[in-house]
Structure 1
Amino acid sequence: MNVKKAFVAIPMSVALLVPSTAGIVSADDHMNMKPKVDTPAVELRANLDQLFSEHVYLAMTAMRKGAAQEPDFNQAVAALKANTDDLTAAIESVYGEKAGDQFHEFWSNHIGFFVDYVNATAENDEEAKQEALDNLANYKEEFSSFLSEATNNQLKSDNLAEGLQMHINQLITGFDAFVNENYDKAYDAQSNAMEHMYNPSKGLSSAIVNQFPEKFDNTKAVTKAANLRSDLNFLFSEHFALAQQAMQNGIQGAPEYDASVEQLNENTEELSATIGSVYGDEAEKQFKELWSSHIGFFVDYVKATGNEDMEAKEEALNNLDQYREDFSKFMSNATEGKVPSSGLAKGLETHVGQLTGTFDEYVEGDYEQAWDIARSGYEHMFTPAKLFSGAIASQFPEKFSEEDMKEEDMFEDVPMDHWASDYIYGLADKGIVVGMPDNMYMPEESVTRGQFTALLVRALGLETDAELPFTDVSDTFAAEVAAAYDAGITEGMTETMFAPNETITREQMAAMLIRAYNATGGEHNDNVADMMYNDEDMISPQFDHYVDHAADLELMVGNGGGDFNPKADANRAQASKVIYLMWKLKQ
């Protein structure tokens, strides 16, 4: 079989954010409290999941191809521009043509600034690199204000700016790592950057639904079932992105091949663990074995292509055909038939055809077609995420009931569309944080040194029998402060005073985070980049390196406007975010 000729590329279709009446659930459905992953609001969120995460996939790929002067650089950039057009159409469908034009200008400009950074790097022009970063900083402020105004201030400008700064840092960090031949870090940064984009899709979809509830049948974009679908959106789409990149790297003999394969293996581990968390250890083992085998068959296909061995290519395709049957039966059994085997096998046929199709076109030099197929393949992976999340939510409705969430799990002042809700509830689920009286969390309240130390120590699971040297620490935090002191995370304000009730500043928080990172096996780095915050002269000299290192690890970034605000008190929401990120970093 000639795979290239047999494969028909599926054209990209722009899924507009405002649903048609055909997508509206009925009033009876709305009254039914069964968890759903296909409501109009959740579909909106999934569309944004796809477009925002694809932006990172394409942007980081294009930046690397530009640095390496690869022949399909222009086509990768064209795919990135097509993604911008799709995002623009989505925004325009909600906020109108004028807003769409503004969005397009902002979004295109920020891509251009990344291109400027790539070009400046190639020319070893440090001044031009800094100019590109300055332009990105200005974009961050202007775009944050635009989105905040568009959403009637539901999305706060400062919070948006902080998220955009993380996006900028992640892309620049990944690109710099690639240029410096630290390929493991480059692909790790890509994974983090893609996952990060699910935060703006969550926030923006929730804001839109709140603004136009009747257009989304009064459904919600942020629910337990929606979060499940979004998690699977990330894992399945990242699989395609990494597989496509690894296959290209393999046929090129590119130096980053091993790093891309390692990241693909990490994605497999996460997918398998997700399945195991639902269906148990044996199912996790079977899933991993099947999923890993199909990746191996793609590797066989790449090797056979490089060796011009048509018989081996055919064998790889036959093995993929058998995998489709085996995997479809496995998932159909696991979901009790809620994902039919025949339909899943057909979807897997599309997946196989898209990965081999984009690879074949790349090998033959038809880069435009290769990237058209790649975009279709990336989009396709959101279909199994929808199918599997729907099946799981249907099988275990008690785990995804919104009624249960309201009564038992939620703080009154942290709705699910709060910018820090994922971090706060993630820590609450692990017993690391608890609320205040009357089921409140008080996310904007300042956090004290004692509270932050306790959270950090609990998150890292630190314990000690060492004696506490401080005389001003009550029993409330004594064990945690002792563990932090014994681990070298804090030395206190003096030899005998810890000041547990004083608020912790952002620079102090950065210092404790990095000391904790180093104390628990993290790799100390004396060569992190200077972040060059506008208020850098306000950072105490003893904390300067900690602030830069926290940014390098993507634990803390500026508050917006290019400032770090080192002396500002940290609040409970900010503390929850950095503690959660530290916990995740250590897993």
Structure 2
Amino acid sequence: MPKHGGSPRIWRWLCAGLVAALPIGTAVVLHEPDSPRALGTFHDDSTVLIPAAQQNTAADLAVRLQAMLGQHSVLAADLMRSRIRGDDDFVQAANAALNKNTDDMSGLIGQLFGTPAAKSFSPLWSQHVVDLVTYAGALADHNDSARKSSDARLVVSENKLADFFSAASKGRLSKSDARSAVEMHVDHLTEQADAYAKKDYPAADKLYRAGFQHTYALGLALDDALLPKSDVAILQQPIWRLRSQLGELLAEHAVLIEDTTRAAASNTPDFSAAGDQMNGNTQDISAAIGTLFSASAGKQFQGMWASHVDALVSYGAATAAKDQTRQQAAKARLATFETQMSAFLAGATHNRLTKAQYAAALRDHDQMLMQHADAYAAKDYVKAHDVGYETYNHMFDLARTLADAFGESVAEKLPQGGAQTGYGGEAGLVATW
């Protein structure tokens, strides 16, 4: 139960269920390679994935806010865990990544809601981060008095944040609802840290994933409360809901792969718990594909995606063990996945993107995750976090491109509202692999 009292879970949009559909819809625009971003470049031609970061409509920025809040949750949890472990090198790199996220989020708040809002938000959010790290430090030192003091400071900082959001909404978000939402976010982070310190890794990793999902949904709630109603209406359109939901699922995939890879590389006892949450994400993505296309498509996708996940984790473990034979075997499995999945996606979307283009995008994704594993195994935690940060952002570029290729008519198959779920949504609709 939440430490600071019960609070209703924010409704999370969920792609789940198995219904048949065929994709017809908007075409994907491809830009010339003068983009400042190197990631996402197709290897077969001179075209690149549409970078969502270059789209500056309010709707694009609103989805980015959801993304950055979700990213904050996992970066904060990673930092708290490394502080508990006493892994000082990882602490420093994680802290730098979290500071970058804070700066980027403050800049986005400024773009969406104006410079005065950003100036008010930045110190409040920074203090929130400091209080979370202090809480983890008290756990690491086994200092219960300091932990209680940190918890009290967190209550103060979370109330200030919530009051800021409520005031910015001009009455559309009540103070009590805002406090309830921010309170739950803090509870997820502190409770996962408590469980991690007690070596209750299944509980810690459930809360890790739940924290990401809730904080991503918090971004949606803030978008609804703070943006002009005309922009909120755009976000309710099927294609935008699909972009948001695919972005969440794919970003969560990258986050959980990295978490599991770290556990595999360091041979830590939380590997099994991390893998369970990663499997839950695989089930959710597969259920989404089943919703968009058909039950059989969802099952076919799941088999390929599960093999992809397993190969990435195997690569990370082989890299840590300096086993080149296993590394090459994992790379071969990934190459097979890229070929098979690109054919699946091209067929499902009636070749709105070619097999070569899909394969290149998937190859970029796999290469980034392998680069993360390489850096982590080499204990180059700064590079690992830099790669992880860019991989996370790349997931939203990929999600936007896939959503546009899937098309408006497919997006209309999504649920209009939200589903109140526990950890992992309706993952039970799809068998585990």
Long gaps (5+) in structure 2: 1-36, 41-51, 429-433
Match of 2:74 in 1: 57
Q: TM-score, normalised by structure 2?
A: 0.81
Match of 1:235 in 2: 249
Q: How does 1:292-303 map to 2 (within 5 A)?
A: 292-303=306-317
- Distance change >3 Å, CA 322–CA 120, structure 1 → 2: same
Identity level (%) = 26
Which of 117, 130, 135 is equivalent to 1:117?
135
The alpha-carbon deviation at position 364 of structure 1 amounts to 1.7
Alpha-carbon distance in structure 2 between the residues aligned to 1:131 and 1:339: 55
Q: Secondary structure at the match of 1:381?
A: helix
Match of 2:102 in 1: 84
Rg: which structure is higher?
1
Alpha-carbon distance in structure 2 between the residues aligned to 1:398 and 1:164: 31
- Distance change >3 Å, CA 320–CA 220, structure 1 → 2: same
- Distance change >3 Å, CA 140–CA 300, structure 1 → 2: closer
- Larger % of helix: which? 2
Which of 167, 170, 174 is equivalent to 1:152?
170
The alpha-carbon deviation at position 582 of structure 1 amounts to 10
Which of 389, 393, 398 is equivalent to 1:379?
393
- Distance change >3 Å, CA 296–CA 111, structure 1 → 2: same
The alpha-carbon deviation at position 586 of structure 1 amounts to 10
The alpha-carbon deviation at position 316 of structure 1 amounts to 1.9
Alpha-carbon distance in structure 2 between the residues aligned to 1:243 and 1:586: 18
Match of 2:12 in 1: none
Q: Is the 8 A contact 1:75 1:367 kept in 2?
A: yes
Q: TM-score, normalised by structure 1?
A: 0.60
- Distance change >3 Å, CA 581–CA 286, structure 1 → 2: closer
Which of 270, 293, 299 is equivalent to 2:284?
270
- Distance change >3 Å, CA 581–CA 83, structure 1 → 2: same
Which of 333, 343, 346 is equivalent to 1:332?
346
Alpha-carbon distance in structure 2 between the residues aligned to 1:183 and 1:583: 17
The alpha-carbon deviation at position 193 of structure 1 amounts to 0.7
Alpha-carbon distance in structure 2 between the residues aligned to 1:332 and 1:373: 28
- Distance change >3 Å, CA 392–CA 315, structure 1 → 2: same
The one-letter amino acid paired with 2:83 is: G
Match of 1:359 in 2: 373
Match of 2:195 in 1: 177
Q: How many residues align?
A: 380
The alpha-carbon deviation at position 209 of structure 1 amounts to 3.1
- Deviation per residue, 1:380-422 (Å, 9 max, x gap): 111232233333343436536xxxx9xxx7xxxxxxxxxxx63
- Distance change >3 Å, CA 341–CA 219, structure 1 → 2: farther
- Deviation per residue, 1:399-457 (Å, 9 max, x gap): 36xxxx9xxx7xxxxxxxxxxx63xxx4xxxxxxxxxxxxxxxxxxxxxxxxxxxxxxx
The alpha-carbon deviation at position 374 of structure 1 amounts to 0.6
Match of 2:322 in 1: 308
Long gaps (5+) in structure 1: 1-7, 12-18, 25-39, 410-420, 427-576
Which of 274, 281, 296 is equivalent to 1:260?
274
Q: Secondary structure at the match of 2:228?
A: helix
**Relative contact order: is structure 1 or structure 2 higher (C-alpha 8 Å, sep ≥ 6)?**
2
- Distance change >3 Å, CA 368–CA 319, structure 1 → 2: same
Alpha-carbon distance in structure 1 between the residues aligned to 2:211 and 2:139: 21
Q: Is the 8 A contact 1:272 1:284 kept in 2?
A: yes
- Deviation per residue, 1:232-257 (Å, 9 max, x gap): 22211111011111111111111101
- Deviation per residue, 1:307-342 (Å, 9 max, x gap): 323233223223212211111111111122234322
Match of 2:144 in 1: 126
Query: 2:334 aligned with 1:320, yes or no?
Result: yes
Q: How does 1:147-546 map to 2 (within 5 A)?
A: 147-210=165-228, 213=230, 220-396=234-410, 399=413, 422=418, 426=419
CA RMSD of aligned residues (A): 2.7
Q: Secondary structure at the match of 1:112?
A: helix
- Deviation per residue, 1:277-326 (Å, 9 max, x gap): 22222212211111111112123322332332323322322321221111
Q: Is the 8 A contact 1:41 1:219 kept in 2?
A: no
Q: Is the 8 A contact 2:342 2:358 kept in 1?
A: yes
Alpha-carbon distance in structure 1 between the residues aligned to 2:280 and 2:73: 18
Q: Secondary structure at the match of 1:352?
A: helix
